[in-house]
Each structure stands twice: as C-alpha cells, then as structure tokens.
C-alpha cells in the first residue's frame, strides 16, 4: 500500500544498504554530474555576497534557491497537506546555484541579471533552464598543481596562476553568453545535497521563453503557499532552559574537520554524548565563477574534503548547534541521515524569511518535529549554562548598509571553560562575561576562519592568558582570496600577543599533521 501510494506521486521507494544514506536524490533526481543534461527549475534570488567586502569593485556572488517540479510537489505534500506517507520518508534537502556578477554594469553577467529580474513572477520566482556544458572547467593543470601540493607554493604564486586561468575562463564564458539572447550570466555552479553531496560546475543558464512559462504559474503559486505561509511563521515551542546539555563532563575529544573554507566541529564527551557545532560545506563558487578547488576531485580520484562531508552521514550526534545561517556553516547538515536529524536536539538562531527555501525548509522541518531550540534575541549575553557548557550570543552591531551582521551575533559555545567555539563572531562582539572568562582558555577555534578581525581596541578583546599553553585551530581552505585566510594581523595577535600555537586544516591537504590526519585536527579538553 505504502509503495503504491508513493509511486502515484512519482517518488521511487526502494530498500537501501544500511551503510548508505537514504537519499532524496533517488526521489527527486536534480541535475547532477551523472544525471540528465537539462532541467527546468523555479529560481529565486536568495541572497548576495561581495567577493571582497573591502572592495565592491571585485563584483559579487548571487545565490539562487532552486526547485524542480517534483520538489515543489513533495514540499507541498509534507508542509501543507501533511501527507502521512511522504512524512515517513521526507528529509530536508539543499538545491541551489551560485553565479558571479561583475561590478561593471555593462558586463554580460549584469545584462543577464537584469533580464532575470525583468522576468520574475509572483513572489520573485522565475523559470530557468539549466544545462551542463563540460567544455567549461577549471584548467586541469591548475587543479593538479595545487590540490595535492598546496603547501609547496607561495600564496603569491597560486594567486598569479589563478588570475591567468581566470582570464582564459572569462573569454569562454563571454562567448557562451553572447551566443544566445536568452542566456544570462552564462555560467553557474549548482549544488545539490541529499546524500552524498553533488556539485555541477559550469552550468549554462537560460531564461525560459514566454511561450513555455505560463504552464508553471500554478506551480509558483503552490511554492508561495508552501513557504510563505507554512514555513516563515512557525516558531519552536521549546525553552532553552530545558535543553539539558550533559553535566559533570570531565573530558571531551574534539575534532575540527578538514572541510576546506567552512566550519565543521564535533565533540564527544565522556558521558557518551556527541555534539556537532556547525557542519559546513565550502561555497560552490570560487571568486569570479570558478568551481571551488576545495570541492574538486584530485587527479587520483580523491578529495579529503568531500570524504569528510560524506562522513557526516555516519555521525549520530545528540546535539547539533547552528552558529548562524551561512552555507559554509550549515550546508553539511543536509547530508545527515534522516533518523539522525530527528533524534538530535537542535540549537539554532531563529531563521526569518523564506527567500532561501533551503534554509527555510530545514528550519521548519526541525521545528515541526519538536526537537529545535530556537533562539530569538538575547544578543550580547549568556543564554544557557551548566557546569560543563555555556552558550552565548554575540553582539550584531552594524554590518553592511547598517543591517545586523549574522556573523557577529552568532551562537558561541564554551566547553569546560577551556575551549571556545565562536563560529564567525569576532572577539569584540563576544559578551563581556565570556571575554572575562577567557583567561582559562587553552583551545580556540579561531573566529571566521582566521579572517579579518577588528583588533584596534585591545581593551575590549578577550583576556587570553599569555602564559598558558594554548592552541588555536584555523578551519580554512583554498578561499576566494587565499591571502586573507588567515589574516596576517589576526595571526600575529594570536601567535605573538596571546602565545597561541596555531594549526590550520588547510595544511592537511597535502601532508599529515603531527597531531592529526587528513580527516581533521583532533584535540582533547580535560577539566
């Protein structure tokens, strides 16, 4: 009965090997490297980010939420119709696309973006056709040279070679964009995370003609009904004071996983409890449109970053912390097995809005299943504590355009008063109580992957004891601008002023670390 019912909605149910993740890829079949060549999708601009916050002229990355028709139907059946059988198999999934947009208003990417904005429908959705084009790829010589031997070359050499490859690649993109009036941006990187994660670099994007759009208007209305009403307005009923994190902990084994330019940390306590603080995946787009080298397969068919992301499926955490809602801190959570998502307790800042359907879907799923502890407000304060764990929230201050910065007001976890996991919240944004307690810290996951931090006023920085033997851990990869991660001033502050011994996950790409392996950096916290 169950299988027959599911098949009526073109959802293929089958038995899976116990060692493998039950994957919605089998049901929804989005465009991937090993699947169909073309796909019609509904698309919405979820957010934009500057390539370089200090230099807007370098352009921006525009992220689109994607939905194919099967996804629309499935979301509607789960969130709106509360279909019993669909609820038995449903888990959150991620389907999105990133494109680079040049700062030059006359650039082809901007012309393309203008076209898509003019072709929006109700709720800001548009209809696109994605098609793979394997002629677009990061030059093999660039990949082979730097993926496995990253530490053998100066950063300046890598950047210079990257610029040369970038110029060649730009000419190819321009030729594609100019070949058709309906092609916008000319290029995009599509990411789907069911399990395992799949990335399609070099997707050509076309606007669907008016003669075909009308048939999708009812589908767009269904999407709006699903997300705008049923997702954005739901709140968790759980109070944080009932969270009951383990107490009496004497020892915690921590691992900062090697996941490129992202954040993924796991802790295992001596109370047989496990927690994950952020499960990030690198952004799919690298600088001006390349596929991110962190996610590319090496010449030997291996990639420790992708291997670690796949390992997320096997983790069975009791607690999952979301520091803030940026992709490089949460995207890996979509790869978790459904049963592990349901069994864990989730602690997360409130996610407002529904433009990014992927995040809205995950947030609503967690709250819908009654296992979410949603944090609203509480900026610049301690919001939970027991004798083993303390949870704080940073001060958002003002970000770009005077808007709150979700990096700064993220959740900060303190373990045994000796280890701080700050996400992307920089030092000056930490609550005063946490800064005052920092003189006992021996282990620190460096905020924001070691990027820029405001260190001008030393009086408002943490009181790290320069005498203690301390270790700092940098979760970095081959970032948009390698020279910025880690930031040289923050490195000097930690290493010289505060006497931290620094360890970088990026060093694990090509060689084994003295205290780790390619999987990640392990360390122990003892009371």
* Radius of gyration of the CA atoms of the chain, in A: 23
DSSP 311-338: HGGG---SEEE--SS-HHHHGGGGGS-H
pTM surpassing 0.85?
Answer: yes
The winner for highest mean pLDDT among 22-26, 159-163, 406-410 is: 406-410
pLDDT in tens, 50-69: 887 778 888 888 999 999 98
Domains: count for the chain: 1
How far apart are alpha carbons 170 and 136 in whole angstroms?
10
How confident is residue 119, by pLDDT bands cut at 50, 70 and 90?
confident
pLDDT for position 201: 77
Secondary structure tally for the chain: helices H, strands E: 15, 23
Give the structural domain span for 382: 1-243+251-527
pLDDT in tens, 154-208: 767 776 777 777 777 777 777 777 777 667 666 788 888 887 777 887 788 888 8
Q: Which two tokens stand for residue 260?
A: 């490129």
Phi then psi for residue 159, to 5 deg, are -60, -40
In this structure, the dihedral spanned by the alpha carbons of residues 282, 283, 285 and 291, taken in order and rounded to 10 degrees, is 30
How far apart are alpha carbons 70 and 333 in whole angstroms?
22
Confidence check: pLDDT of 224 > 80: yes
């Amino acid at each position: 009965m169950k299988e027959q019912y599911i098949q009526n909605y073109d959802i293929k149910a089958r038995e899976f090997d116990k060692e493998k993740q039950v994957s919605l890829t089998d049901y929804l079949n989005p465009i991937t490297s090993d699947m169909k060549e073309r796909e019609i999708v509904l698309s919405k601009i979820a957010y934009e980010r500057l390539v370089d916050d200090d230099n807007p002229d370098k352009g921006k990355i525009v992220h689109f939420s994607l939905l194919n028709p099967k996804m629309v139907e499935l979301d509607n059946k789960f969130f709106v119709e509360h279909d019993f059988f669909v609820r038995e198999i449903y888990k959150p999934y991620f389907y999105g696309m990133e494109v680079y947009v040049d700062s030059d208003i006359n650039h082809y990417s901007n012309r393309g973006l203008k076209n898509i904005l003019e072709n929006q429908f109700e709720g800001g959705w548009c209809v696109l056709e994605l098609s793979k084009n394997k002629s677009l790829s990061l030059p093999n010589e660039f990949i082979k040279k730097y993926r496995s031997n990253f530490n053998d070359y100066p950063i300046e050499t890598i950047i210079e070679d990257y610029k040369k490859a970038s110029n060649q690649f730009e000419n190819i993109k321009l030729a594609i964009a100019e070949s058709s009036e309906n092609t916008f941006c000319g290029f995009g990187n599509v990411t789907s995370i069911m399990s395992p994660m799949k990335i399609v670099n070099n997707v050509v994007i076309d606007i669907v003609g008016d003669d075909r759009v009308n048939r999708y208007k009812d589908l767009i209305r269904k999407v709006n009904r699903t997300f705008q009403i049923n997702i954005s307005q739901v709140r968790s009923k759980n109070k944080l004071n009932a969270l009951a994190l383990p107490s009496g902990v004497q020892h915690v084994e921590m691992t900062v996983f090697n996941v490129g330019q992202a954040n993924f940390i796991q802790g295992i306590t001596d109370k047989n409890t496990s927690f994950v603080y952020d499960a990030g995946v690198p952004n799919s787009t690298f600088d001006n449109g390349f596929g991110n080298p962190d996610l590319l397969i090496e010449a030997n068919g291996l990639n420790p970053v992708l291997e670690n992301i796949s390992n997320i499926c096997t983790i069975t955490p009791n607690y999952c912390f979301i520091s803030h809602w940026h992709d490089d801190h949460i995207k890996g959570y979509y790869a978790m097995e459904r049963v592990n998502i349901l069994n864990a307790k989730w602690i997360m800042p409130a996610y407002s809005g529904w433009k990014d359907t992927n995040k809205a879907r995950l947030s609503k799923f967690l709250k819908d299943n009654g296992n979410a502890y949603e944090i609203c407000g509480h900026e610049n304060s301690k919001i939970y504590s027991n004798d083993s764990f303390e949870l704080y929230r940073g001060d958002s201050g003002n970000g770009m355009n005077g808007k709150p910065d979700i990096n700064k007001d993220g959740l900060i976890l303190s373990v045994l008063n000796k280890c701080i996991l700050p996400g992307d919240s920089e030092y000056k944004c930490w609550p005063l109580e946490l800064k005052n307690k920092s003189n006992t810290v021996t282990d620190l996951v460096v905020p924001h992957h070691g990027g820029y931090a405001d260190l001008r006023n030393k009086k408002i920085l943490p009181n790290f004891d320069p005498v203690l033997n301390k270790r700092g851990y940098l979760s970095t990869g081959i970032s948009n601008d390698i020279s910025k991660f880690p930031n040289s001033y923050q490195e000097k502050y930690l290493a010289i002023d505060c006497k931290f011994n620094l360890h970088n996950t990026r060093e694990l790409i090509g060689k084994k670390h003295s205290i780790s392996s390619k999987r990640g950096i392990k360390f122990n916290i003892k009371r």
